[in-house]
Amino acid sequence: MSCYRLGYRFLLNNYIPDFGRVRVSQQIIRAANENYPILVYEPPGKVAATLITFSGFSVHGYRDKRLARLSRAFARQGMRVVTPYVADIDQLRIHPVSIDKFAALIEAIRADDSINSSKRAISIFAASYSGGIAMLAAARYQTASCVNTICLLGAFADFRNVLRFVVEEEAIDEYARYILLRNFLQRSDRHNNELVNLLDVAIADNGFRRKVPRLPQVLQATSPDNIGVFWKMLNDVDFRRGIVYGAFADVDQSESWAEKFNLADKLEQVTFSVNLIHGQRDRVIPSSESIQLHDVLQHQGKHGHLTLSNLLDHGDLIVNHALCKEISKLSLAFGVFIEASLAPQD
């Protein structure tokens, strides 16, 4: 079956789902002396490959309906799909320790007889912040041999670029800015519980798309000083820079975050194919991040495939006049990944 046909079939299964054909179970897997809940999506027929789908920063966590729809669509292509619960990600926490957890999960799932009975190297799909984390994990010496192919949707290459983009650009996704501010406010001298609570409420209002936001009510019970700081964080770029960049500089000095979150110098062990898909006008992680990562992969002689799409915002589908052309590009992108996942291995 051609890449285009595989991709079209996947997109149809994703956007016109048939939920009755995929059985889902909850299990536990042990990785690096820690128990992780996982959702396992079983294909209707024979298992041809094993795929991990890592959830992104969603208020719905690893049970996010969009990820569940994707996982079911992948399962219908003949893959057993595993979605792990990672507390850092479900709690919207930015920290390089997540790389260790992703790596441990990749190695554990690859070695688990009941999940990956064929012992084949596994495939990975991850989006946004989790995409960068998954790639950093997969590129490690011990982990790289466990991976057959990886697909990253709207991921970062160097987290510092995302930091600058979300802090400084005006036309940005507010949800991403709330999450960034919440993480770095907690590491700054401006931190207090009332401000963190305001950001938590703003994140939940946005993420759950509440018809009646809770933020106005919570603001009424907030001290005037903290209300002022809250609105200043959202509307004053210089003030926001001071909080986020100051906190990042402190944690970078003590824990080397800039180096840990930069993919460019960590690709030496990569022998698997890397499929990059990015929305051309992504308002959270700019498409220049996938372009940069693809350029580095090409320069190092790695196998990479890049697709930039006008149909995607930050992973969500946008219908426009170029629908037919863009659907064809997306079909090829996902088809290349699926074909690599299902291909025989040496």
- What local confidence, expressed as pLDDT, does residue 106 receive? 98
Report the percent of the chain where pLDDT is more than 70. Answer: 95
Section 45-54 average pLDDT: 96
- Residue 289 shares a structural domain with residue 310: yes
The β-bridge partners of 30 are: 35
- Residue 91 shares a structural domain with residue 211: no
- Residue 201 shares a structural domain with residue 187: yes
At 46, phi and psi to the nearest 5?
-70, 145
- Residue 143 shares a structural domain with residue 37: yes
For the segment 284-323, what is each residue's pLDDT rounded down to a tens digit? 999 999 999 999 999 999 999 999 998 876 445 454 445 5
- Residue 282 shares a structural domain with residue 213: no
Comparing CA positions, the residue from 315, 295, 270 lying closest to residue 127 is 315
Comparing CA positions, the residue from 266, 334, 259, 294 lying closest to residue 155 is 294
- What local confidence, expressed as pLDDT, does residue 5 receive? 87
**Can you tell me the distance from the alpha carbon of 294 to that of 161, in angstroms, rounded to the nearest whole number?**
16
**Can you tell me the distance from the alpha carbon of 65 to that of 1, in angstroms, rounded to the nearest whole number?**
28
Residues 6+ apart with CB under 8 A from 212: none
By three-state DSSP, how is residue 269 classified? Answer: coil
Please give the residue range of the domain that contains residue 17: 3-158+261-342
Lowest-confidence range among 8-12, 189-193, 315-319, 342-346?
Answer: 315-319
The residue out of 237, 256, 275 marking a domain boundary is 256
At 256, phi and psi to the nearest 5?
55, 45
The token duo for 343 is 């291909």
At 130, phi and psi to the nearest 5?
-65, -30
Q: How confident is the model at residue 132 (pLDDT cuts 50, 70, 90)?
A: very high
- Residue 17 shares a structural domain with residue 108: yes
The residue out of 208, 238, 256 marking a domain boundary is 256
Section 226-235 average pLDDT: 97
- Residue 245 shares a structural domain with residue 287: no
- What local confidence, expressed as pLDDT, does residue 315 receive? 47
Domain count, the chain: 2
Query: Between 159-168 and 237-255, two packed helices, what is the crossing angle to 10 degrees?
Result: 160
Section 61-71 average pLDDT: 95
- What local confidence, expressed as pLDDT, does residue 319 receive? 45
For the segment 102-118, what is each residue's pLDDT rounded down to a tens digit? 999 999 999 999 999 98
Residues 6+ apart with CB under 8 A from 189: none
The residue ranking higher by pLDDT, 17 or 38, is 38
- What local confidence, expressed as pLDDT, does residue 3 receive? 86
Q: How much is the mean pLDDT over the chain? A: 93
- Residue 132 shares a structural domain with residue 167: no
- Residue 178 shares a structural domain with residue 190: yes
Section 129-135 average pLDDT: 98
DSSP structure string for 139-151: TSHHHHTTEEEEE
Q: Give the Cβ contact number of residue 56 at 10 Å.
A: 24
The token duo for 299 is 């320069």
Q: How confident is the model at residue 23 (pLDDT cuts 50, 70, 90)?
A: very high
